Amino acid sequence: MTERTTVTYLEMTDPGRLRPAAEVPGLELVPAEAASSLVRAVLTRVAAPYGWAVAEWTDAQWADWTARPGLRHWLLTLDGAEVGVVQALPEPGGAVQITKFGLVPEAVGRGLGGHALTLALRAAWSLRPRDAVRVRRVRLHTCTRDHPHALPNYRARGMSVTRTEVR
């Protein structure tokens, strides 16, 4: 029997809807190059516990993904140590999708997720969309295989559910 997964799609349509989490001293969002082996290593560590396909991508799959126009990467660092990753992709229509967001396993449960998401959302709102003057919405999705605090965190930061589907 195949396990069913519920995917929840969320968006924020105004940066003023962001409800920032309490700041975590020393937690920063640091721009990184997509081709960086460090970005890939951190993303693999984030993805592995949740079964994200990216954790097992070949070099060719990684190269194809990171060649997407406008794809941006940031490392989440705590006092200089890598604790997570954010990927965002500007899309048509003034949208930015946060395609990857998460913490490495040893950083989970330490109270970093809310501020990390606050930083990620601010970064997404600051990007230039591919075909618009400004970002009109930031979107992402999560599923029941992700960390159980993911969806509550997204909602607590001001994101709204747009739809769900069962796969």
**1 inside domain:** no
**158 inside domain:** yes
Q: pTM to 2 decimals? A: 0.93
Looking at the structure of the chain, the number of domains it has is 1
Q: List pLDDT tens digits, range 124-158.
A: 999 987 776 789 999 999 999 899 999 999 999 99
For the segment 113-118, the average pLDDT, to the nearest whole number, is: 98
Residue 129 is predicted with a pLDDT of 75
DSSP string of 51-63? Answer: T-GGGG--HHHHH
**97 inside domain:** yes
Q: List pLDDT tens digits, range 65-92.
A: 989 888 999 999 999 999 999 999 998 8
| Residues contacting 65, CB < 8 A, separation 6+ | 54, 57, 71
**Domain containing residue 94: CATH number:** 3.40.630.30
Residue 1 is predicted with a pLDDT of 54
**54 inside domain:** yes
**74 inside domain:** yes
Q: List pLDDT tens digits, range 117-133.
A: 999 999 999 998 777 67
| Cα distances (Å, whole numbers) of residue 167 to 6, 101, 110, 162 | 6, 21, 31, 17
Tell me the C-alpha distance between 69 and 67, whole Å: 6
**61 inside domain:** yes
Tell me the C-alpha distance between 67 and 12, whole Å: 26
Q: List pLDDT tens digits, range 32-53.
A: 998 789 999 999 999 999 988 8
| Residues contacting 74, CB < 8 A, separation 6+ | 29, 30, 31, 32, 85, 86, 119, 120, 123
Residue 75 is predicted with a pLDDT of 97
Residue 26 has pLDDT above 80, yes or no: yes
**Domain that residue 49 falls in:** 6-166
> CA torsion sign, 55 to 61 to 63 to 66?
negative
**105 inside domain:** yes
